[in-house]
Amino acid sequence: MSAPAPGASFSIRAAVVKDLDSIWAIESAVFGAEAWSREMVREELTAGHRCYLALTDDAGVVRGYAGLLAVGAEGDIQTIAVSPEARGSGQGRRLMDALLDEAGRRSVREVFLEVRADNSIARALYASMGFTEIGLRPHYYQPDDVDAVVMKLDLKERR
């Protein structure tokens, strides 16, 4: 995937099944051995109680995606990824903000997520958005055998 043009602007829209190939390419590039299978990504894009967003550049190329599972008062950030070419420009935060806005529209009160214990950049982003660390899931990420830090955000405190 080529890099976005210098100074490119990005938009966020609902992800659709037509985005599967682009999302799968980013999933594979970002998560490597821990990437979801292509079929799992397809299922997520089409499953009930889900909201998936696509980050696109000026040319309409998908440069990132994020997903939310919202059931009742609880939500779970299923995944979030920005292509390596588009990192460092605040797009991950934009995707998270959009997902949290959607969670609020769906009357979610608490949002949870898991993040690799060794991913200090993502952990700092989530903490800066108000998420707090509430637990640890040992050996969660396989095959790398990395723990997951469980984080929670009370949406009432976000507003």
Contact 99, 66 (CB under 8 A): yes
- What is the band of 5 on the pLDDT scale with cuts at 50, 70, 90? low
Q: What is the pTM of this model?
A: 0.90
CATH architecture under which domain 10-158 falls: 3-Layer(aba) Sandwich (3.40)
pLDDT at 122 over 70: yes
What pLDDT, in 10s, does the model give residues 46-71? Answer: 999 999 999 999 999 999 999 999 99
Burial 95-127 (b: 16+ CB within 10 A, else e): bbebbbebbbeeebeebbbbbbbeeeebbebbe
Tell me the catalytic residues.
114, 126
Please list, in sequence order, all residues whose beta carbon lies within 8 angstroms of the beta carbon of residue 134, skipping any fewer than 6 positions away: 150, 151, 152
Residue with tokens 């990192």: 87
pLDDT at 91 over 60: yes
